[in-house]
Amino acid sequence: MPTHVFDFHPHTAAILSSPSKIREMEPLVAQMMPERDITLEPRFFLASVSSAWTPRAVVVRRDGHVAGIVYAKERRWAGMPTGLVCLDGRLGNMVVADPADVEDVLRVAIQALFARRRVVELRLLIPPSGLEERAVEKTRASMNLDFGCSVPDPHTRLSLPADYEQFLEILGYKTRRNFRYYRRKFEEGGHTYLADVSAPDMQRAVAALRSKCRIPSRRSEIRRALNVVAAVDRPWAVGLKHGNGEWLSVAAGWYSGDRATMFFQLNNDREHAEASLSVVLRARLIETLIGRGVRELVFWSGSAPPLSRYATEIPAVALHLDSRTPAWRLARFAIRIAGRHFSNWMDTDLRDAGSPAIANPRGHAV
């Protein structure tokens, strides 16, 4: 894949699409971010890009020196680029740069992505009212782009005390009773909780459980989840096994300092709906994490009830920047109309591309 270079004096921007070229930036990222955050490393970025997308890493230089790197991905359709580009920085993992350079780096990256042939929309998932938002405002004003705003699926965080019984006291009466009841029922049934599942066993558990979950997962989603966990330095995986040795549930993620992130969980809730496997696993996981000194559990893309009632959303907003060409405006209108009638089968990313030019669900002003 060719590298595209654009000149925005005194900056230049090179867009890398080759995974091998992006991996070569590992030493540079380590040099720029001495306090390592795995979600900012090229290998994590590449692992998080599913097969439906093409990675785009924008390397911004100022006077010949690298000022920063911006991670993006472009949606593919039938193997072809669509011009729909997403930048996901909900956890501050979109821009590798000194804080003093973030605005300039992101502004130049946005200009470079729009300068690329056929790019018509950028969707940025970012924290509200931060450096990234200011960069978007400056770029939108200078480039005369259409603007939209929507609410993305939020990551959530759950604070953990120093003692598991203390955690149970934080819960409401019904949730606390269910945590105790279903855990006791699980153990009385002769089933087993595994606090340390190896990578090979995790893969076997995922293969066994994929078709047994009520919430379906495509093979590409499973492959992405396994790739992400394999890319981190400090992964964790826990699971539940039936007394007969069959897998009942598995969850995995990674540690970062005193924080743990849960990236995915699969349960055999088609055959064991009455066992509340998700509750059992999360109860045992939280007890394990507290025992290991973890003080915060982050749920990637949020948590389902009952823990969602006790977790706090990590604030985020989705900003849409769109080309004002007549052809793309007409296409967005057609997508919006089609989405009203065929939303069940329409691709989520395609449907999001039809967002109104001015959408302001939170009274958000950019």
With beta carbons less than 8 A apart as the criterion, state whether 254 and 260 touch.
Answer: yes
Q: Model confidence at 365, in pLDDT bands (50, 70, 90)?
A: very low
Report which residue type is found at 133: E
Q: Please report the pLDDT score of residue 67 as a whole number.
A: 97
Delimit the domains of the chain by residue range.
Answer: 4-153+315-353, 156-313
Environment class of residue 121 by beta-carbon count within 10 Å: exposed (0-12), middle (13-18) or buried (19+)?
A: buried
13-17, 20-24, 325-329: which range is least confident on average? 325-329
Assign 1 a pLDDT band (cuts: 50, 70, 90): low
Query: What integer is the mean pLDDT of 300-323?
Result: 94
pLDDT at 349: 55
Q: Residue 333 has what pLDDT? A: 72
pLDDT confidence of residue 353: 57
Question: For position 115, what pLDDT does the model report?
Answer: 95
- Rg of the chain in Å (alpha carbons): 22
Pick the CATH number of 156-313 from 3.40.630.30, 3.40.640.10, 3.40.50.1100, 2.40.30.160: 3.40.630.30
CATH of 4-153+315-353, one of 3.40.630.30, 3.30.70.100, 3.40.720.10, 3.40.80.10: 3.40.630.30
Is the per-residue pLDDT at 137 higher than 70?
yes
Residue 297: predicted pLDDT = 98
pLDDT at residue number 352: 59
Q: Are 24 and 46 in contact (CB under 8 A)?
A: no
* DSSP 8-state class, residue 117: T
Common-topology check for domains 4-153+315-353 and 156-313: yes
Task: Read off the pLDDT of residues 268-288 as tens digits, 9 standing for 90 and up.
Answer: 999 999 999 999 999 999 999
pLDDT at residue 358, rounded to an integer: 39
Tokens of 174: 């019904």
Alpha helices per DSSP H over the chain: 19-23, 26-32, 42-48, 102-115, 131-143, 164-170, 173-188, 199-209, 219-231, 277-291, 326-342, 348-353
Report residue 315's pLDDT band, with 50, 70 and 90 as the boundaries: very high
Kindly tell me if the per-residue pLDDT of 360 is higher than 60. no
Task: Please name the amino acid found at residue 116.
Answer: R
Evaluate if residue 258 carries a pLDDT over 80: yes
